[in-house]
Amino acid sequence: MSARIRKTEVPAKNSRKSQATRARIMQSATEFISERGSTDFQMNEISERCDLSKGALYYYFIDKADLMDAIFDQVIGDLADSIESAVASTTTPLEAIYEIVLTLVECIRRERPLVFAMVEELFVSVSGDALGEGTFSRVLELLVRYLDEARELGLLKPELNSRLTANAIAGACIYTALGSVSNDDPAALETPVREYLMMVMTGAATEKGLEAIRIYEESEE
């Protein structure tokens, strides 16, 4: 007598139940990343934690790369939305750049998968006109926009490469955030973020820009 093959019934992918299961799978993978500080997990670990058969798991994600892409798109999309909201009420390029950097560091501290997503997209293009086609390009484009505005206002040196500077700032944010990951007080981030921003801006600033930075620092005290 042949053994019966157990089949797992799965709902249509666009159903509410299916979307909930997909979100649960992504959350489980995110937990593994946060727990281990890396993407070193196996799909069978996800199926066990979610109490799903491997067949059901692969119904939602064809492989680990597909699952990671979905997680990266989600965390970077949320990051871009947060940053766009943060700069909406700013009135100067310097203030906008500060808000972008602070929000970026705060989000990295909360979402460890964001580090790996940023690394994957951040260095796709570090020269030329393109910043890459990933979701994170929304964040880099905002940085470029405000760096360009500051340069046009005569606050930054005319030879400054805004695109390379945006990449450098984003990369430094990763180290700043990871270095403060054990500190649960978001306010503790403000000092290193401001110090780093001022270091970058001071090095690239004109005399007019240095005066603007001085005034900005005094207003934040």
Flag whether pLDDT at 124 surpasses 50: no
* pLDDT computed for residue 49 by the predictor: 93
Question: Do the domains at 16-62 and 72-220 have one common CATH topology?
Answer: no
pLDDT of residue 215: 79
User: In sequence order, what are the beta bridge partners of 156?
Assistant: 205
Write down the CATH superfamily of domain 16-62: Homeodomain-like (1.10.10.60)
pLDDT of residue 80: 87
Place of tokens 């997209």: 121
Q: What's the CATH code, domain 72-220?
A: 1.10.357.10
Where do the structural domains in the chain lie, given as residue ranges? 16-62, 72-220
How many Cα atoms within 13 Å fall on the side-chain side of residue 174? 16
| The predicted structure's pLDDT at residue 7 | 41
Does residue 128 carry a pLDDT above 70? no
Q: Could you tell me which residues come within 8 angstroms of residue 159 by beta carbon, excluding any fewer than 6 positions away? A: none
User: What pLDDT band is residue 52 in, cutting at 50, 70 and 90?
Assistant: very high
Residue 55 near residue 34 (C-beta atoms within 8 A): no
Mean pLDDT over all residues of the chain?
78
Instruction: Say which residue, 143 or 210, is predicted with more confidence.
Output: 143
Q: How far apart are CA 172 and CA 159, in angstroms?
A: 21
pLDDT at 178: 67
* Nearest residue to 178 (alpha-carbon basis) of 105, 124, 127, 72: 105
